Structure 1
Amino acid sequence: MGAGVTEPGTIDKTAIRDAATVIVLRNRSHEPSVLMGQRGANAAFMPNKFVFPGGAVDPEDSQVPFADPLSPICVSRLADGAPGDRATALAAAAIRELWEETGQILGRPGTWDAPPENWRDFAAHGHLPSAAPLQFVFRAITPPGRPRRFDARFFLLDADDLASDPDDFSAASDELAHLQWIALDKVRSFDLPFITEVVLAEVAARAADPRPPASIPFFRNNDEESLFLRLYGQPLPD
């Protein structure tokens, strides 16, 4: 999907990179809130904005063992318009970025044989990642002309499925500041990226409904056009 040609060992900053974002929803049936943090003023992508935890997929994410896999409907919809082997890496990236940026663990107790380097801190806490609670709810490609471009998949997660204390951010990196739970009815008073506002509207509309959505909104932006599509996935076997 990337654009341009780069020298070996370098990263093409104009390429579209696969990415995963996690929307952790707390108290979804009454006074729901979401976990967000603020990007730094010097960040190349969305400086100063309040965002959900998330980031680009690393090559090692495809090698991660799961305690519980993604649901079949998530796998099917993630493969709609994308390579079918991408689902595992996207789910792993979502869990890893959640851990790195907030210190929150989505997993079950378990041991690793040889965790990849970027998963060693997670593994040291005695958990294997669990993808089953993740619900694929949105996809968006960053428009052309931005300093970074991502094909981002947004996953919804109920805070009750976390294996860690949802108020303990002591293990978080310093990538996001002011980590906090923000009430859905107050979140628009924060400085948000446009796409985050769109995703939040989708989440707020169905916060009390734990079932997977009927389809997945997809903002596809490329050099020729911008389209709003719906992802339904492939029919599931009986």
Structure 2
Amino acid sequence: MPGDPPEVPVEPRDASTIALLRDGDHGLEVFLLHRVAGMAFAGGMTVFPGGGVDLRDADADLAWAGPPPSWWAQRFRCTEDEARELVCAAVRETFEECGVLLAGPTADTVVADTSGYGPARAALVARELSFSDFLAREQLVLRADLVRPWSNWITPPEEPRRYDTRFFVAALPEGQIADGVTTEASDVSWQTPSEAVADWQSGLRGLLPPTWVTLMEIDEHDTVTSALAAEREIVAVVPRVRRDGDVLRVVLPGDPLYPGAAGHLDGQPGDRLELP
């Protein structure tokens, strides 16, 4: 059971996550990592690649292709510096956690094989190398045009660890392979969104509310092209929870029950978490 909520809300840390997509034999598929159970945040949960912003990433001089930081700032309702950091964090974390690199030698190309960047990937994970320095050293251009904004979720103020996370979607580049070479995950998989949600509902996997909501939203699209073309209004969402016996129901803004719902997920053995 989680500890008591902090008396003073913790300031949420900026973070980014990418739902990496591909067209599979049975429809649109998404890449998922099953986090190691002992991790401080979301231990044992199934998640998309992602993590916190590293302020060293967003060097204003890094080579950048696609919508400028001003475009991203408008979508995510933040400053241009923050927008640059968020996009860089999304691309860096995806490379660190599954070896997929959304960058290329030129503004209209993307690397087809990332295996040669193994040492740099390890150095990025160890924070011995910044992402901007990595791109500059390898003469690579960050392909901001290969990612699309999806949503913004903020951890409730009652939680001891809080993140202001921007969600992105991106297609797996041709020739690249998403792997499970990360100490943060016990295993990885490609699944259709409906399969991933079904595994959660049956108790095989754990999903946090932002993950299963995102999976359900992506499941509305039949192809990667359709998902990437979605025009979405990005509004910050702070989920809350309403207890109904042994059922925990996630309540989202706009629900009449939202004002009276709790922000702290006080899970107990036998509890079930249900969709709103």
- Structure 1: segments with no counterpart, 5+ residues: 6-12, 230-238
Counterpart residue type for residue 157 of structure 1 = A
User: What's the C-alpha RMSD, in Å, of the aligned pairs?
Assistant: 3.2
- Structure 2: segments with no counterpart, 5+ residues: 1-5, 107-123, 200-204, 241-250, 255-276
Query: Match for 2:56 among 46, 55, 60?
Result: 60
Please list the CA deviations of residues 21-44 of structure 1 after superposition, one character each: whole Å capped at 9, or x if unmatched.
Answer: 000111079611101111111111
Evaluate the alpha carbon distance shift between residue 37 and residue 124 of structure 1 in structure 2; reply closer, same or farther with a 3 A threshold.
farther
Q: How far apart in 2 are the matches of 1:154 and 1:177?
A: 22
TM superposition score normalised by structure 2:
0.65
How far residue 96 of structure 1 moved from its aligned partner, in angstroms, is 0.4
What does 1:53-202 correspond to in 2, within 5 Å?
53-63=49-59, 65-70=62-67, 73-79=71-77, 82-109=78-105, 117-119=129-131, 127-159=140-172, 162=173, 165-167=176-178, 169=179, 172-188=181-197, 189=199, 190-202=205-217
Q: How far apart in 2 are the matches of 1:124 and 1:183?
A: 37
The number of residue pairs the alignment matches comes to: 207
Task: Name 1:212's counterpart in structure 2.
Answer: 230
Counterpart residue type for residue 25 of structure 1 = L
Q: How far apart in 1 are the matches of 2:83 and 2:142?
A: 14
Q: How far apart in 2 are the matches of 1:70 and 1:207?
A: 25
Report if the CA contact (8 A) 2:72-2:80 is conserved.
no
Larger radius of gyration: 2
How far residue 228 of structure 1 moved from its aligned partner, in angstroms, is 3.3
Q: Which has the higher helix share?
A: 2
Report if the CA contact (8 A) 2:73-2:79 is conserved.
no
Q: Percent identity?
A: 27
How far residue 138 of structure 1 moved from its aligned partner, in angstroms, is 0.6
What is the DSSP-based 3-state SS (H/G/I as helix, E as strand, rest coil) of the residue aligned with 1:19? strand
